[in-house]
């Protein structure tokens, strides 16, 4: 029975509580802890929850993941099971061992859209086989700011047209395997020097620049049929000086959703928020208030659970949305429309059955990583292949939160597989500051004990301490090989310089092959 609430003379209809509650649950994409489904989550699925987000903490191996998603679907067959699986540095399927796929920057370096499509298709096949049907990928950000601390190698590159064609190819490949793509981070996170996990970034570009740079890949993704788009927690005064894009009607409704004829992008799929627990939102608005504002602005799904993964969070957000409708702050039709979009995507075919007819390509990731490797011989220093155990000095920056600090990276493990006895030692900004550069390098040389040294860096151009340490090492041992596993923004140095364009496990394998003379040769 429909009830009426409101001030005298302005009664407005509000649907029954159960309907509002189900709609509020339907727009949430929560996470949880553990590798089995908790009872509270199963209960909420029965009450209207239509999406679940998975993270590295939920995944042990493909068999366990498939069993988990099957258990969830026994409770609700039309379920969106989402995961943040970009490949490359950001992996959840292989969080403990490193990804079998290079990331976007490596694919952009090769610039072969057929290869990008094939990589995304194989990644999608593996996700679908495990019961995942929504991937919070690809990143369509144009990495126009080389000091960007959160995007970097997650981007295909700094050229909008290159990013656009590979974003489209990635969307096509992923969705051809039955997994919906969620292109991110709208309207573009590439021109930031602040990580929105920590604070609210501000992009000062004017509308003309946004149209010519940031929005180009999103138009390509929409043309390629991306099922979802993820918003960014970034402030763009050219669009909205008061609200970050996730909470901005001007960004979500006025730009992303509006028809092309009216100057918009004409997107009619699911709009998903970036994680609402990120400080850009949580520290300014709080997750409850932020979630209400996001749905009111045009978002259809609230992503939460990267850091907040419990029943209390789900109930708080559910109740905040219901209360906002009853208080007249959130139009009930807006909530109903958002819930309908989430349910519609959940009903699309996907999951294990979608992999029929998709030919496995188990080696495509390594093939791509090898093709992305760029080798620069040293100036005046011959570098014969390694044939004996080496000493790997890994200059390690603070982990990007999106990547996480539990995923291994580097070349040490792959070199040790080829040359048993190879040793890896990690150097950080903290250890450099504590010891001083001279002592740090002195200790490294003593530990190396005459073995050939491989220095592994990541985004050397962004870390002065790392550049200072590498300069001192090369002065003492000019025969050192340097492997750059981030953005190769600094000039090549060392007897041999390898740029992998990412830190996935297969990127480390390709570099190890090159260092030991097993590299199949120069590739385009």
Residue 1 has a pLDDT of 31
**Confidence at residue 20, expressed as pLDDT on a 0 to 100 scale:** 96
pLDDT for 507 beyond 90: yes
Cβ contact 153:103 at 8 Å: yes
Residue 180: HSE in the Cβ half-sphere, 13 Å Cα cutoff? 24
How would you write 228-255 as a 3-class SS string?
EEEECCCECCCCCCCCCHHHCHHHHHHH
Segment 335-353 mean pLDDT: 89
Q: Which of 264, 261, 260, 271 is nearest to 250 (CA)?
A: 264
CA 370 vs. chain centroid, Å, equals 22
Q: Is the pLDDT of residue 159 over 80?
A: yes
Edge-to-edge strand ranges of the sheet holding 423-427: 374-377, 496-499, 481-484, 453-457, 391-395, 423-427
pLDDT on residue 22? 97
pLDDT confidence bin for 406, thresholds 50/70/90: confident
- What sign does the dihedral 333-336-338-340 (CA atoms) show? negative
Q: What is the pLDDT of residue 494?
A: 87
pLDDT category at 446 given cuts 50, 70, 90 is very high
Domain boundaries, the chain: 19-355, 373-516
> With pLDDT > 90 as the criterion, what percentage of the chain qualifies?
79
Q: 299: closest CA among 26, 19, 82?
A: 26
Question: What was the pLDDT predicted at 522?
Answer: 43
Tell me the CA distances in angstroms from 338 to 132, 300, 330, one per residue in order.
21, 4, 12
- Which of 80, 276, 305, 88 minimizes the C-alpha distance to 196? 276
Query: What is the pLDDT, as a whole number, of residue 398?
Result: 76
| CATH code that applies to domain 19-355 | 3.20.20.300
HEC string of 453-483?
A: EEEEECCHHHCHHHHHHHHHHHHHCCCCEEE
What pLDDT is attached to residue 357? 76
Distance CA 522, CA 524 (A): 7
**Looking at residue 381, what is its pLDDT?**
63
Residues with active-site annotation: 197, 274
What pairing do the DSSP bridges indicate for beta strands 391-395 and 180-186? unpaired
Tens digit of pLDDT for each residue in 346-404?
A: 998 766 666 777 899 999 999 999 999 999 987 656 789 999 999 999 999 876 655 65
Residue 170 has a pLDDT of 98
What was the pLDDT predicted at 308? Answer: 76
Residue 6: predicted pLDDT: 33
Q: How confident is the model at residue 450 (pLDDT cuts 50, 70, 90)?
A: confident
Instruction: Please name which of 166, 57, 68 lies closest in space to residue 113, comparing C-alpha atoms.
Output: 166
pLDDT band at 17 (very low <50, low <70, confident <90, very high): low
Q: Indicate the range of 187-191, 235-239, 298-302, 381-385 predicted with least confidence.
A: 381-385
* Closest C-alpha among 356, 350, 343 to residue 69: 350
- For the residues 121-141, what does the mean pLDDT come to? 97
Average pLDDT, the chain: 91
What average pLDDT score do residues 254-275 get?
Answer: 95
Lowest mean pLDDT among 34-43, 370-379, 464-473, 504-513: 370-379
Q: Which pLDDT score is estimated for 204?
A: 87
The CA–CA distances, whole Å, from 174 to 87, 123, 168, 273, 349 equal 12, 7, 10, 20, 14
Would you state the pLDDT for residue 401?
Answer: 56
Is residue 307 very low, low, confident or very high in pLDDT (cuts 50, 70, 90)?
Answer: confident
**Axis-axis angle for helices 311-326, 287-297 (nearest 10):** 50
- The shares of helix, strand and coil residues in the chain, as percent rounded to the nearest 5, are 45, 15, 45
The mean pLDDT of 125-139, rounded to a whole number, is 97
Inter-helix orientation angle 113-129/364-372, to 10° = 140
Q: How far apart are CA 379 and CA 372, in angstroms?
A: 22
CA distances from 163 to 154, 217, 504 (A): 11, 6, 20
Residue 362 contacts residue 64 (beta carbons within 8 Å): no
Mean pLDDT of 164-176: 98
Mean pLDDT of 467-478: 95
Q: Which pLDDT band, with edges at 50, 70 and 90, does 7 fall under?
A: very low
The third-level CATH classification (topology) of the domain covering 373-516 is Rossmann fold (3.40.50)
Chain centroid, CA 194 distance in Å: 16
Query: Residue 11 has what pLDDT?
Result: 39
Helix and strand element counts for the chain (H, E): 19, 16
Cα dist. 367→113, 169, 292, 377, 470 in Å?
14, 17, 45, 22, 30
Pick 10 or 517 by higher pLDDT.
Answer: 517
Q: For position 9, what pLDDT does the model report? A: 34
Q: What is the rounded distance in angstroms from the CA atom of residue 163 to the CA atom of residue 435? A: 42
């Amino acid at each position: 029975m429909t009830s009426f609430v409101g001030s005298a003379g302005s009664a407005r209809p509000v649907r029954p509580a159960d309907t509002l509650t189900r709609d509020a649950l339907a727009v949430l994409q929560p996470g949880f802890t553990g590798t089995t489904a908790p009872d509270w989550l199963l209960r909420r699925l029965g009450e209207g929850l239509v999406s679940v987000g998975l993270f590295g903490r939920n995944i042990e191996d493909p068999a366990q993941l498939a069993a988990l998603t099957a258990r969830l679907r026994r409770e609700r067959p039309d379920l969106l099971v989402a995961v943040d699986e970009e490949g490359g540095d950001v992996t959840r399927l292989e969080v403990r061992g490193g990804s079998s796929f290079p990331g976007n920057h490596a694919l952009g370096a090769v610039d072969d859209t057929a290869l990008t499509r094939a990589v995304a298709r194989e990644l999608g096949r593996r996700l679908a086989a495990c019961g995942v049907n929504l991937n919070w990928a690809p990143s369509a950000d144009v990495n126009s700011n080389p000091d960007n601390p959160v995007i970097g190698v997650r981007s295909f590159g700094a050229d909008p047209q290159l990013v656009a064609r590979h974003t489209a190819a990635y969307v096509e490949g992923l969705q051809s395997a039955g997994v919906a793509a969620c292109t991110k981070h709208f309207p573009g996170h590439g021109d930031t020097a602040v990580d929105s996990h920590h604070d609210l970034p501000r992009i000062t570009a004017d509308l003309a620049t946004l149209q010519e740079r940031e929005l180009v890949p999103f138009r390509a993704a929409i043309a390629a049929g991306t099922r979802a788009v993820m918003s960014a927690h970034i402030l763009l005064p050219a669009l909205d000086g008061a609200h970050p894009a996730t909470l901005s009607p001007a960004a979500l409704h006025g730009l992303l959703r509006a028809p092309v004829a009216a100057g918009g992008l004409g997107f009619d799929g699911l709009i998903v928020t970036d994680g609402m627990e990120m400080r850009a939102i949580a520290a300014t608005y709080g997750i409850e208030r932020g979630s209400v504002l996001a749905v009111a602005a045009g978002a259809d799904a609230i992503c939460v659970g990267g850091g907040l993964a419990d029943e209390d969070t789900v109930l708080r957000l559910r109740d905040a949305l219901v209360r906002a409708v009853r208080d007249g702050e959130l139009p009930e039709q807006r909530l109903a429309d958002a819930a309908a979009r989430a349910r519609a995507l959940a009903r699309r075919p996907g999951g294990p059955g979608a992999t029929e007819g998709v030919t496995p390509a188990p080696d495509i990731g390594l093939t791509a990583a090898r093709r992305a490797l760029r080798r620069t011989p040293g100036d005046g220093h011959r570098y014969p292949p390694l044939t004996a155990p080496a000493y790997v000095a890994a200059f390690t920056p603070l982990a990007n939160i999106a990547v996480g600090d539990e995923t291994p990276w580097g070349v040490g493990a792959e070199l040790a597989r080829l040359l048993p006895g190879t040793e890896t030692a990690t150097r950080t900004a903290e250890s450099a500051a504590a010891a001083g550069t001279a002592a740090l390098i002195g200790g490294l040389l003593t530990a190396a004990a005459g073995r050939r040294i491989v220095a592994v860096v990541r985004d050397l151009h962004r870390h002065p301490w790392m550049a200072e340490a590498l300069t001192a090492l090369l002065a003492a041992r000019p025969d050192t090989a340097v492997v750059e596993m981030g953005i190769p923004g600094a000039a090549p140095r060392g007897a041999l310089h390898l740029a992998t364009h990412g830190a996935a496990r297969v990127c480390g394998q390709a570099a190890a092959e090159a260092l030991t003379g097993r590299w199949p040769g120069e590739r385009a």
